[in-house]
Amino acid sequence: MASHQGVSQDETIHADEYQSGFFTQVFHFPLPDVFNPRLYDVIYEWLGTPYRYAGKSISGIDCSGLVQKIYEKVYGLMAHGNSRILYNDSKRVAKKELAEGDLVFFRTRRNNISHVGIYLGENKFVHSSRTNGVIISDLTQPYYKKYFAGAGRLTK
């Protein structure tokens, strides 16, 4: 695990730390009352990882690689392919029906689906940004609002 905000590599994050506000400070938004602690543990491991096209490791990862790694580790689902394939393989979800773990898709290049992230709640999503690596962003930010293409839910 990478070191984030004063937590050493040897420390383990426990469920009671979620309640203490630790992750609220790390993620910069209040965690929902009902959430998947495993999801946040795994996201925490990836935060700050640099972007690397077609990357799938802690030394560099792209957006679809991040989705694949998180889905495998948290949900036991094998998500394959780039953002466009993930879009085609997911069941459409209305924006107002978004739930933690759903995928959010963007058309950042032309009219094609070219970016994907995982929805966390409170309009927040985790993704691998080309400029900032793995970060948490907000769907209401002008850039993401402009390029938002839809949401989907992967099932077995």
Cα dihedral angle (34, 148, 57, 80), rounded to 10 degrees? 90
CB neighbourhood size of 27 (10 A): 18
| Whether the predicted pLDDT of 69 surpasses 70 | yes
Give me the pLDDT at residue 110, please: 84
Q: Which of 4, 14, 80, 115 is catalytic?
A: 115
CB 126 within 8 A of CB 117: yes
| Whether the predicted pLDDT of 95 surpasses 80 | yes
14 in catalytic set: no
Q: Which residue has the higher pLDDT, 63 or 4?
A: 63
| Whether the predicted pLDDT of 15 surpasses 50 | no
Whole-Å CA distances, 59 to 17, 74, 95: 27, 20, 32
Q: Which of 4, 14, 28, 63 is catalytic?
A: 63
Q: For 101, phi and psi rounded to 5 degrees?
A: 95, -15
In CATH, which superfamily holds the domain spanning 15-153?
endopeptidase domain like (from Nostoc punctiforme) (3.90.1720.10)
115 in catalytic set: yes
